[in-house]
Amino acid sequence: MVVEAEKGEFPESMIKRTKGVTISQVAEAAGVARSSVSRAFTRPDMLSPETVERIMKAAEALGYVPNHTARALSTGRHGNVGLIVPDIANPFFPPMIQAAQLEADRSDFCIFLGNTEENPKQEDKLVGRFAGQVEGLVLASSRLSDERIRAHAGKLPLVLINRDLDGIPRVLIDSGSGVREAVEHLVKLGHRKIAYVSGPSTSWSNKQRRSAMRAAASGLGVAVETVPAVLPSYNSGRNAVGAILATGATAAVAFDDLTAQGVLAGLAEKRVSVPSDFSLIGCDDVLGAVTYPALTSVSNRSMEAGRVAVSLLLDMLQSRAIRDVRYVLETHLVVRNTTAAAN
């Protein structure tokens, strides 16, 4: 229920905000030209120390604060970068966002956050809306086509996370290494047929994980069956359980922890107990030990990815050059309690 206490409109005067003190007022107060005030703030070394001090005192007294928008208009630099993620509610992203923000902050940049709801259309729209307000953009786990990404990269500095496009700076979390370890771990436990519960087909991570599965499995002489789950979510995982069991696999690796968690629930419903009857491994290790049994998973490096991506972007902005950087972060298997010997 909702209680709304409406006490009526306030008089106009009450909402009058102190509308900005301008550079001109400071200039007049300090008895200098506007340009000197501007310089006092941006390149104080060009002015005599006494002048700078006088200006600063006047500015202080008037409560002057430089107008960001005006500055952006004349310099073309707004000190903002955008970060677009497919699903902020997916626990993979918040740490990344946090790290990105921290890194941006160190250089006095602000972050525009975009959430695409896993929808390429929405992503396109957001990029368009952000362009022109940000100096550069980080696209995390983009669901856009290569062409769209390249098109955008032509318009503003872009850094990708978990998307591997030549010529565009990118930070890749190589879950391949971790997935390989996962497969080896399962094989060592005696599993001969393993299911891979896949994620979004447009996801680079998904392609990567699936092919790492296949490669590792064929190297070890065991079989892999892919079961589609479309969206990385609890429900997708839960709905996939029927198909997983139908493959006859005794173990599964899921595209991510959320999916794995769903699978776990689905298995419990079907009275398949984990890990004694079935082994399960997640990816991204976002759930830590909170599932029951605690989920064996492939570690993620999402914080580091966020930090590095922003750092790369800021470098680009500073140097005004694109370096074809391909920054790879390796991952590892974290063994907990959802894997055991096959029976």
Choosing among DNA, a copy of itself, none, which partner's interface includes residue 4 (Cβ < 5 to 8 Å by kind)?
a copy of itself
131-150 residues in contact with a copy of itself (CB under 8 A) are 132-133
Q: Is residue 120 at the binding interface for a copy of itself, with CB under 8 A as the rule?
A: no
Contact between 320 and 135 under an 8 Å Cβ cutoff? The reply is no
CA 17 to chain centre: 36
For residue 309, give the nearest of 182, 161, 188, 163 by alpha carbon. Answer: 161
Residue nearer to DNA on the CB measure, 39 or 152: 39
Rg (alpha carbons) of the chain, rounded to whole number: 26
Around 206, how many Cα atoms within 13 Å sit in the side-chain half-sphere? 19
Residue nearer to a copy of itself on the CB measure, 100 or 187: 100
Kindly list the distances between the CA atom of residue 307 and the CA atoms of 72, 175, 208, 245, in Å, as whole numbers in the listed order.
25, 18, 22, 40
DSSP H or E segment with residue 105: helix 93-106
Residue 119, C-beta contacts closer than 8 angstroms, at least 6 positions apart: 143
Residue nearer to DNA on the CB measure, 70 or 290: 70
Q: Is residue 18 at the binding interface for a copy of itself, with CB under 8 A as the rule?
A: yes
For residue 163, give the nearest of 119, 200, 111, 202 by alpha carbon. Answer: 202
Q: Is residue 36 at the binding interface for DNA, with CB under 7 A as the rule?
A: yes
Taking CB under 8 A as the binding criterion, the range among 88-96, 183-191, 241-249, 274-282 that sits at the site for a copy of itself is 88-96
Contact between 240 and 263 under an 8 Å Cβ cutoff? The reply is yes
Taking CB under 8 A as the binding criterion, the range among 4-12, 48-56, 205-213, 243-251 that sits at the site for a copy of itself is 4-12
Around 165, how many Cα atoms within 13 Å sit in the side-chain half-sphere? 22
Kindly list the distances between the CA atom of residue 87 and the CA atoms of 41, 111, 116, 140, 305, in Å, as whole numbers in the listed order.
40, 16, 6, 10, 16
Residue nearer to a copy of itself on the CB measure, 224 or 267: 267
For residue 283, give the nearest of 242, 217, 232 by alpha carbon. Answer: 232
Question: Hey, what are 190's tokens?
Answer: 């005696």
183-222 residues in contact with a copy of itself (CB under 8 A) are none
**Contact map string, positions 148 to 187, toward a copy of itself, x by CB under 8 A:** ------xxx----------x--------------------
Q: Is residue 51 at the binding interface for DNA, with CB under 7 A as the rule?
A: yes
Choosing among DNA, a copy of itself, none, which partner's interface includes residue 106 (Cβ < 5 to 8 Å by kind)?
none
Choosing among DNA, a copy of itself, none, which partner's interface includes residue 51 (Cβ < 5 to 8 Å by kind)?
DNA
Q: 3-class DSSP state for residue 172?
A: strand
Please tell me the distance from the alpha carbon of residue 143 to that of residue 202, in angstroms, as a whole number.
Answer: 6
Question: Shortest distance, CB of residue 82 to a copy of itself, whole angstroms?
Answer: 9
Taking CB under 7 A as the binding criterion, the range among 68-76, 199-207, 276-284, 321-329 that sits at the site for DNA is 68-76
Contact between 137 and 128 under an 8 Å Cβ cutoff? The reply is no
Q: Which of 28, 34, 78, 113 binds DNA (CB under 7 A)?
A: 34
Binding site for a copy of itself (CB under 8 A): 1-10, 12, 14-15, 17-18, 65, 67-70, 72-73, 78, 80, 88-89, 91, 94-95, 97-98, 101, 108, 110-115, 129-130, 132-133, 154-156, 167, 261, 265, 287, 289-292, 320-330
Binding site for DNA (CB under 7 A): 19-24, 31-36, 38-39, 41-42, 46-48, 50-52, 64-67, 70-71, 73-75
